[in-house]
A and B are shown apart, each in its own frame.
Chain A
């Protein structure tokens, strides 16, 4: 064969879903002993490619060769036999089973042995790569970092020689990411071929040897990491030069809108989801919230919106009515009462559609989600929401065939525009925006940032829950860092350093208030 050192070689791969082509003419190579970063915006077909390599999807056309031999990967078993191990973005673990049980799950007959023997072998593997996990812990008791370790062990234990990691860093702390990259480098040096899929440019620069850029389901090109820069890659990814800087408007006319005092919330299993959190939120500013996933961000948003029970503390909402400034505790009010006061929340959950929008309804029907009950009539009025949907589609440039398009058929970016657009058109005084760019490509993300900045300039108090520290630092005026439900500090975004926030996120350092 001509490329003996090629681990995987893909040529002209196509895959369509109905009339939609997710991959068309996709080609790439990965060699033994290298880390290849696969970079692409959402919708560029990364996940589809992963699913084809892992045997979950079947390609429509094109060829895949492993070690120079053409192969058809029809099932996950085929994929394993070829030595391909995939760590999916959303972990595929059985909650009620232990780490060890998950690792030995589905092993082929010939490698079956006693649990003890397995345990010993897995422990050895852990030692070799510096992985740490309690093998007898049930998965539902694990942190995301631990779950990922189990996933890595799972594929290594099956003797994977080609590792594919789909967005592995999305839920990790900066420290955990560093550790993961160390492990990846160790594996690369051991001769394994590694494909890491991401849209975070800094990570590409940090860990990869080469980068293959995908654009709209096609391969845009491959470059050596050492010979490129982040902004070159970004331009390559979207097909044109783009400005990576987010505009930060100087805040003006700050006026206190929300004063959260010693807020404490307790989860159903008795854990403190929010522990004595205090902060103020001003009209005309964007307050960022940083933290490792599950540090209390969701509970904070929900508590303010009246969706999460508050155990202690107060949420004071300040408003000017007839020229008199009044301050009112909104704890205990219903969600409806709270959004009627002008507190709007656009929460993008992990599945993007779970909260705020009804996937199977059309855009117009989604417009009336909060306002349907404003009239006294027994019947719903569909005229106004339809008008509203039309305006929104035009104003925010939402790519949809019409107001009667089901939300589930829109792309991620457009879904988020619909949600944010609806909240904004209710003219809120406070806008809570949680993960509004989750999974969005660069272009759509910037549209969202622009929308948030517009609101800020209008004097709206914006609470921005984010994942990407670079974005938080560039967009927000102040950043509050949550760790384990506690507010460990509020920093000035103009002066703060990323590393500093990273340490605060895991509970080290901090204490600074801006």
Chain B
């Protein structure tokens, strides 16, 4: 019975890497992307399409022409801004899954002014009002679950998720009720925005892209350089420590999540006023969810978010273009996105850990013999080593 538990060492074990090098990380991510594309290629082969041609079309269709590039950038704008919003919340370790709803509410607020204030105020002022209203309503919408989180520790993941649906149905209600365009017959619609309420274009794309870039810088500075950013980092790490440091934790949660929601609200404003020119239930179109993945993959780093959200938009735009060219369901884009994301998520593991396989028997015996022969000399005791050793023991005791 006692021998039953195997005479062998297990096949492999995992070693956590202390500080993974970014070069190795980059190489592994590239490999993961490649593998994901191979997987996607297999899928395309099943659909009897030429993977190389399809992939090439995705690149051409997303950045190959000026029109395509403008469209891709236009898709990237709301995603980028929303991701910034989600990032602010994630820094606080607050799972804001409600970006979708906050985008909707921002869009609702902007639409209200676009429909009712045209002609009453100068166009530039209208944009300022729409921007502020979008941010305010998005922020307040996000602040509801944040309030309950701060007060009763209500699970924010589930709460924000539910609010997304409420937000979508609010738009449906407005579309079918108070804001319905009386001139439209048939399918009820909200009127299209007058020209004065549409964001102007700069270099072929609406000014949302400038707003987005400015926000990238602002969010970076806010999180890294300001006192608020410091507070967010401390609260995110430990609420007890924050209280101990004299921080008003509830206020910080509310303030931060308000900002998070406000950024999402701005994304909604930019989307209705810059791209859609009307309000529909699909105004968010899933960016709230995609933003979560983008924020995660970009490791909450605003500069990386810029890159990753652009790549995502390329993927989406490229997938749209293969739909028309190759007659592939546009759902294939989601499948491809899903596959790439799966591989990216999986590859994080190989960046963090090293897999050590069982050594061959002789090699192990030899090594044991060597270690036995040179006991202490093989273990240099530099200054950092010993404290780390204790730290490990300390960490073991914790939790």
Query: Which residues of A sit under 8 angstroms from B7, Cβ to Cβ?
Result: 70, 72
Closest A residue to B384 by CB, please name it. A401
- In the bound complex, what is the Cα–Cα distance between A42 and B389 (angstroms)? 10
Cβ-closest chain A residue relative to B17: A18
Of the candidate stretches A44-52, A112-120, A186-194, A487-495, the one touching chain B is A44-52
Interchain Cβ contacts under 8 Å between A and B, 25 examples = A12-B371, A17-B16, A17-B388, A17-B389, A18-B16, A20-B391, A21-B389, A24-B376, A43-B389, A45-B393, A58-B13, A61-B368, A61-B371, A62-B368, A71-B2, A72-B7, A335-B244, A335-B245, A336-B246, A354-B238, A359-B238, A380-B227, A409-B387, A410-B391, A411-B390
Q: Flag whether A19 is at the interface (Cβ < 8 A).
A: yes
CB–CB A356/B2 < 8 A: no
Taking the closest CB of chain A, its distance from the CB of B381, in whole angstroms, is: 9
> Which residue of B1, B18, B227, B229 has the most chain A CB atoms within 10 A of its CB atom?
B227
Q: Which listed residue (A72, A90, A345) contacts B397, Cβ 8 A?
A: A90
Cα A411 to Cα B8 in complex, Å, equals: 34
Tell me the minimal C-beta distance from B265 to chain A in angstroms: 23
B372: chain A residues within 8 A (beta carbon):
12, 25
**Are B244's CB and A345's CB within 8 A?**
yes
Near A by CB (< 8 A), chain B positions 246-276 give 246, 248
Total A residues in contact with B, Cβ cutoff 8 Å: 81
Chain A nearest CB, measured from B337 CB (Å): 31
CB distance from B365 to the nearest CB of A (A): 10
Counting contact residues on chain B (CB < 8 A from A), the size range is 35 or more
CA A372 to CA B368, docked complex, whole Å: 52
B10 at interface, CB cutoff 8 A = yes
Q: Give the chain A neighbours of B13 by CB distance below 8 A.
A: 58
A339 contacts chain B at the CB level, 8 A cutoff: yes
Find chain A residues with CB under 8 A from B238 CB.
353-355, 358-359
Select the stretch in A73-81, A129-137, A478-486 that faces chain B: A73-81
Among B376, B390, B391: residue with most chain A CB under 10 A:
B390
Answer whether residue A508 sits at the interface, using C-beta atoms and an 8 A cutoff. Answer: no
**Assembly CA distance A466 to B104 (angstroms):** 55
* B6 contacts across to A, CB distance below 8 A: 72, 74, 78
Q: Does A245 contact B (CB under 8 A)?
A: no
Among the 9-residue stretches A220-228, A257-265, A279-287, A412-420, the one with 4 or more Cβ atoms under 8 Å from chain B is: A412-420
A334 in the interface (beta carbon within 8 A): yes
Q: Which residues of B contact A335 (CB under 8 A)?
A: 243-246
Kindly state whether residue B234 has any CB partner on chain A within 8 Å.
yes
Given known A71-B5, A74-B5, contact A358–B391 (CB-CB < 8 A): no
Name the B residues within 8 Å of A373 (CB-CB).
Answer: 227, 246
A512 at the interface (CB under 8 A from B): no
User: How far is it, in angstroms, between the C-alpha of A48 and the C-alpha of B399 when the chains are bound?
Assistant: 15
Compute how far the CA of A411 lies from the CA of B383 in the bound complex, rounded to whole angstroms.
12
| Residue of B whose beta carbon sits closest to that of A306 | B246
Interface assignment of A439: CB less than 8 Å from any CB of chain B: yes
Given contacts A351-B399, A352-B398, contact A379 B5 (CB under 8 A): no
Known: A370-B245, A379-B226. A411 touches B387 (CB 8 A): yes
A142: CB under 8 A from chain B?
Answer: no
Q: In the complex, what distance in Å separates the CA atom of A45 from the CA atom of B379?
A: 15
Distance (Å) between the CB of B187 and the closest chain A CB?
Answer: 49
Majority SS of interface residues in chain B? helix
**CB-defined contacts of B391 to chain A, threshold 8 Å:** 20, 408-412, 415
- Nearest chain A CB to B380 CB, angstrom units: 10
Partner of A399 from B245, B364, B383 at Cβ < 8 Å = B383
- B246 to chain A: closest residue by CB: A336
Q: Is the CB of A69 within 8 A of B3?
A: yes
Q: Is A96 an interface residue (CB 8 A)?
A: no
Query: For the complex, is A3 an interface residue (Cβ under 8 Å from B)?
Result: no
| Whole-angstrom CA separation of A410 from B272 in the bound complex | 51
Chain A 349-365, CB within 8 Å of chain B: the 1/0 string? 11111111111110001
Asked if A66 lies at the interface with its beta carbon under 8 angstroms from chain B, I say yes
Q: Is the CB of A439 within 8 A of B394?
A: yes
CB-nearest residue of chain A to B380: A19
In the complex, B299 has a CB within 8 A of chain A:
no
Given contacts A18-B15, A43-B386, A61-B367, contact A355 B241 (CB under 8 A): yes
Q: Are B399 and A307 in contact (CB under 8 A)?
A: no
CB distance from B237 to the nearest CB of A (A): 5
* Cβ of B120 under 8 Å from chain A: no
A-B pairs, top 9 by smallest CB distance, nearest first, are A411-B390, A336-B246, A43-B390, A78-B5, A351-B398, A412-B394, A411-B387, A335-B246, A20-B388
Q: Is the C-beta of A149 less than 8 angstroms from some C-beta in chain B? A: no
Say yes or no: B396 contacts A47, CB within 8 Å.
Answer: yes
A121 part of interface (Cβ distance < 8 Å): no
Chain B residue with Cβ nearest A82: B2
- Contact between B397 and A89, CB atoms less than 8 A apart: yes
Cβ-closest chain B residue relative to A415: B394
A66 proximity list for chain B (CB < 8 A): 2
Mark out the residues of chain B between 1 and 39 whose CB falls within 8 Å of any chain A CB in the assembled complex. Answer: 1-10, 13, 15-18
- Give the CA-CA distance A415 to B15 in the complex, in Å: 25
Question: A350–B398 contact, CB under 8 A?
Answer: yes
In whole angstroms, how far apart are the Cα atoms of A399 and B390 in the complex?
11
Give complex CA distance A334, B368 in Å: 60
Contact of A339 among B226, B229, B246, B375 (CB under 8 A): B246
Chain A 364-377 near chain B by CB (<8 Å), digits 1 or 0: 01001110110001
CA distance in complex: A71, B6 (Å): 8
A412 x B227 contact (CB < 8 A): no
A183 to B5, CA, bound (A): 30
- Check if B387 sits within 8 Å of A414, measured CB to CB: yes
Residue among B8, B18, B241 making CB contact with A354, cutoff 8 Å: B241
Q: Which residues of A contact B379 (CB under 8 A)?
A: 21, 24
- CA of A200 to CA of B251, assembled, Å: 45
Given A43-B389, A361-B237, A373-B227, A72 contacting B243 (CB threshold 8 A): no
Contacts of A334 in B (CB 8 A): 246, 248
> Which A residues lie within 8 Å of B65 (CB)?
none
Q: Is A22 an interface residue (CB 8 A)?
A: yes
Are B10's CB and A58's CB within 8 A?
yes
A72 CA to B8 CA, complexed, in Å:
7
Q: CB distance A379 to B17 under 8 Å?
A: no
Known contacts A72-B6, A352-B397, A411-B394: A20-B389 contact under CB 8 Å: yes
Closest chain B CB from A12 CB (angstroms): 6
